[in-house]
Amino acid sequence: MPDADASQRTLIVLARPAKIAGGLAVQMGKHVVLLPRPGDLTFYERVAAKKGQAVQLNGQVIPWPTRPEFLYDFLGTEHSGSP
């Protein structure tokens, strides 16, 4: 995302790669933060295993909120299964 516009804002509930499915990607400009789904205690270990590798993130894009919302609380409960 080095060429992303500084005003770019994106939220993605991750579906792929499968090893981090259910997590959340938050993009602000050229920066992306990956957050685990609730209870996923090994998320960052799996992310660290890809250190230095380009990875394509895919999932459900959620509109950037303009006011406080608790939408992800409900989306996160739809994912089942282990990491």
pLDDT tens string 52-72:
888 899 999 988 888 887 766
- Taking the C-alpha atoms of residue 19 and residue 12, their distance in angstroms, rounded to an integer, is 15
* pLDDT digit string, tens, across residues 37-55: 989 999 999 999 988 888 8
Per-residue tokens: 56:
């394509």
Helix (H) or strand (E) holding 71: helix 71-75
Domain that holds residue 24: 9-78
Total-model pTM: 0.75
Q: Taking residues 6-25, what's their average pLDDT?
A: 93
Residue 24: which of 81, 53, 66, 64 has the closest Cα?
64
Per-residue tokens: 37:
């789904």
70 is a domain residue = yes
Per-residue tokens: 69:
């919302």
Q: Is the pLDDT of residue 21 over 80?
A: yes
63 is a domain residue = yes
1 is a domain residue = no
Q: Taking residues 28-37, what's their average pLDDT?
A: 94
**Number of domains, the chain:** 1
